């Protein structure tokens, strides 16, 4: 029989803080979601072939370790994670990716119109614009779709076309409007 923990003084009860228990439960969940060959690998900070792309991108890279490479898997994430460099890295690993993005994280190579530009040109609901750029040899598509407010999505595998008509909810009338609005393929795939 193996002993997994030893209590030095039996009269003194085992004590653990709430933070320590949360960390323990978190590691147990991570071990279940993303199994690695060796237990010590969960505490390693770097793997030899992984770049350091910043805190949020490194989380995605670490969780994507268990995804098989070059099998056309698709990884979806929200606006906290996507960077052009992360999308490029995942595409080079054979993992397609897509997600909503904060315009500030796009960099200077991807040009999307601002809210001021949309209001000055009086664009209607359903307007969309696509920008394709090449980052380190990988094509990244950024699509801005104006629904109630602008939504920006980036992808390494899908773009704006073909568009499809969708019915949208009108806040003023409190019902679905009868006029169909153009919705890009990337938005339909994300939802």
- Per-residue pLDDT tens for 31-44? 787 777 777 676 66
pLDDT at 4: 45
Q: Is the pTM of this model over 0.85?
A: no
Q: How far is CA 136 from CA 86, 92, 99, 132, in A?
A: 11, 10, 19, 13
H/E stretch holding 29 reads: helix 18-33
Residue (of 127, 114, 139, 141) closest to 181 by Cα position: 127
Give 93-150 pLDDT, tens digit per residue.
Answer: 899 999 888 776 776 666 776 667 766 677 777 788 888 888 888 888 888 888 777 8
What is the reported pLDDT for 2?
Answer: 46
């Amino acid at each position: 029989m193996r002993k997994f923990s030893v209590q030095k003084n039996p009269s003194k009860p085992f004590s653990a803080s709430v933070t320590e228990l949360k960390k323990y439960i978190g590691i147990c969940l991570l071990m279940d979601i993303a199994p690695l060959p060796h237990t010590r690998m969960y505490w390693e900070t770097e793997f030899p072939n992984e770049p350091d792309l910043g805190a949020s991108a490194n989380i995605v890279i670490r969780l994507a370790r268990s995804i098989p490479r070059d099998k056309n898997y698709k990884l979806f994430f929200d606006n906290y994670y996507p960077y052009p460099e992360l999308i490029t890295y995942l595409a080079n690993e054979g993992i397609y990716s897509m997600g909503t993005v904060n315009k500030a994280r796009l960099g200077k190579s991807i040009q999307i119109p601002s809210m001021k530009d949309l209001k000055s040109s009086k664009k209607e609901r359903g307007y969309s614009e696509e920008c394709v750029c090449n980052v380190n040899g990988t094509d990244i598509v950024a699509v801005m779709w104006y629904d109630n407010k602008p939504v920006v999505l980036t992808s390494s595998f899908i773009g704006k076309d073909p568009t499809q008509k969708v019915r949208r909810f009108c806040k003023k009338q409190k019902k679905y409007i009868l006029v169909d609005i153009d919705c890009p393929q990337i938005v339909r795939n994300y939802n």
